[in-house]
Amino acid sequence: MDTKKIAVSWLWWLKLLVVGGGSLLVLLLGINTLLSSYLLKNPLDFIMLFFSASFMILLGLTGLIYPVCRIHALLKNDGNA
């Protein structure tokens, strides 16, 4: 394996780690926001926080699915090569 492939491999793993870690933080922030929205007394504030928290959870889950699919594709193609 030449050094260029090793460097690309490390950058590829680093990118997946950054995307996964950032997505996990967004997911946890969304869950925290969703739980705190139920403590509000104003219905308009509740609706605003509820939908923004739902969107953050959706983004976090999508960002967590991306590295899983990329790693699965790598392992699937590695076994066939």
What domain range includes position 67? 20-80
- The CA distance from 49 to 33, in Å, is 7
- pLDDT tens for 14-65 read 999 999 999 999 999 999 999 999 999 999 999 999 999 999 999 999 999 9
Whether the Cβ atoms of residue 75 and residue 36 lie closer than 8 Å to each other: no
pLDDT at residue 74 in the model: 82
- The CA distance from 28 to 11, in Å, is 26
- Report the Cα 19 to chain-centroid distance in Å: 6
Whether residue 14 lies inside any domain: the answer is no
Whether residue 76 lies inside any domain: the answer is yes
What's the pTM? Answer: 0.81
Whether residue 11 lies inside any domain: the answer is no
Banded pLDDT at 3 (limits 50, 70, 90): low
